[in-house]
Structure 1
């Protein structure tokens, strides 16, 4: 006689099957290539070109020369570079390693929260930074519209846009 309680417990403990589908090209292109490269560029500037990074972020409060960057600012910028590197690795390696939508949704949801935090962190620069494209420099283009694009694509992915999952709704025929 089979022990059904063990079978039931084993089934309950078994992981759910992965939901894999062919990911739309726009998501693969942006999340596996464009954004990781962009984050890697950010890491490079935050660690190796700190004066430029600070000047492009807010010239009025940046040190006058590279030699005047406070040690604390240098450490924080290197920590930021490390986070950009983590961002790069999560997208370029973790997402590339799977087509499981649960994994993609989990990673992209976390990055969406980070996008919102990133945009919020710009508030001390004034609200114009969010919409005055005529005032943007290269750093602002990376900090604002590129983040808007990434966040928009994350929301679209999380909502299933582009996966062709719509079901046709047919009207029931009236019988006379």
Structure 2
């Protein structure tokens, strides 16, 4: 369903099969695109208000200029994430269809960078104490920034462990190591 067809030939993408292809090539880029749309349509004030779930605080009528610029920079970072994973993964798939080891090396480097961002930016410990350990109080934005990022991080780690896929580079012995063993 999600395979690309060029000149009636299906392009294989062994580095991102099945679940991983759906998650990293389609779902993650689409989900990363929503914040830029939200800021464009609803404004920086609404986006700012949604970052931490609360029913008490009113939406500010005007953000100070520094906060507004930071919100726009955050939304632009989401856009960059969307475009990077979308364009890079497609370029790897289309440009290296018969080289799964190189596909895996490039995808792995990208997934490691994204996993680092998942860890550094999604800890619920940064939430206020009254909502930190109450996911039922979280809004869609908080679940996107915490819950979805945890799922993404765990999926990236499963990819590195070779869960549900064949390994071509990561976890394979290097040619030098295999000749030393002989």
Q: Is the TM-score greater than 0.5? A: yes
Residue 38 of structure 1 deviates from its aligned partner by: 0.6
Matching residue of 1:155: 157
Residue 102 of structure 1 deviates from its aligned partner by: 0.4
Gaps of 5+ in 2: 1-12, 94-102, 172-182
Mapping of 1:94-173 within 5 angstroms?
94-99=88-93, 100-120=103-123, 123-126=126-129, 128-129=131-132, 131-164=133-166
Tell me how large the CA RMSD over aligned residues is.
Answer: 2.5
Q: Which of 33, 41, 53 in structure 1 is aligned with 2:34?
A: 41
The structure having more radius of gyration, on CA atoms, is 1
Maintained 8 Å contact 1:39/1:87: yes
Residue 62 of structure 1 deviates from its aligned partner by: 6.3
Residue 21 of structure 1 deviates from its aligned partner by: 2.8
Residue 124 of structure 1 deviates from its aligned partner by: 4.4
Q: TM-score, normalised by structure 1?
A: 0.72
Q: Which of 47, 54, 68 in structure 2 is aligned with 1:53?
A: 47
Q: TM-score, normalised by structure 2?
A: 0.70
The aligned length equals 145
Counterparts of 2:151 and 2:160 in 1: how far apart (Å)? 14
Counterparts of 1:74 and 1:47 in 2: how far apart (Å)? 12
